[in-house]
Amino acid sequence: MPIIFVVWSIVSLYDKTTFSLIMWSLFYGIGITLGYYMMRRLNISINKKTHLVHMPGSVIPLIISCSFFLVKYCLGVSYALNPTLKFNVIIAGFDGVLSGIFSGISTGRFLKILHKYYTTLFHKKF
């Protein structure tokens, strides 16, 4: 899912201002950090024989996904109704910030699971 969010974010920001891509990059990094540290409190276990990841259920991924789709839908409708908004620095920057945060949180959560997976199976600290 993080790949979908990243690709969708970048493609949707491509025809807007450069400022939106800069804001996306900055807040993508912040989102990765937030997502990674959000996962610290979850009890993630890895079965060494089957290589399966076990973690408790959470509504957080659902909230992140629904929020991302809602924001992208609302912005898409706004751009369709008023195409000049694509070049409005404030609106395009807002699009970049929200897209970066949501994509980053999703990526950070994935990276934390991946980190736990490799440190458990291969006993290496990164």
Q: What is the DSSP string of 73-124?
A: HHHHHHHHH-GGGGG-HHHHHHHHHHHHHHHHHHHHHHHHHHHHHHHHHH--
Examine residue 19 and state whether it is found in any structural domain, yes or no. yes
For residue 45, the cross-strand partners are: 54
Q: Where residue 8 falls among pLDDT bands split at 50, 70, 90?
A: confident
**Average of per-residue pLDDT across 92-103:** 91
Percent of the chain with pLDDT over 70: 97
Beta bridge partners of 54: 45
Residue 125 lies in a domain: no
Region 25-46: mean pLDDT is 91
Percent residues over pLDDT 90 in the chain: 38
pLDDT digits (tens, 9 = 90+) for 43-89: 888 888 898 889 888 898 899 889 989 998 999 999 899 999 888 88
Please tell me the predicted confidence (pLDDT) of residue 103: 92
Q: Is 8 helix (H, G, I), strand (E, B) or coil?
A: helix
Q: Tokens 């395009």 belong to which residue?
A: 92
Q: Is 10 inside any structural domain?
A: yes
Tell me whether residue 126 is in a domain: no
Structural domain that includes position 54:
2-120
pLDDT score at 13: 76
Residue 31 has pLDDT above 90, yes or no: yes
> Which residue in this structure is represented by tokens 């076990």?
54
Among 64, 6, 9, which Cα is nearest to 35's?
A: 64
Determine contact, residues 39/111, Cβ cutoff 8 Å. Answer: no
Number of domains into which the chain is organized = 1
pTM: 0.84
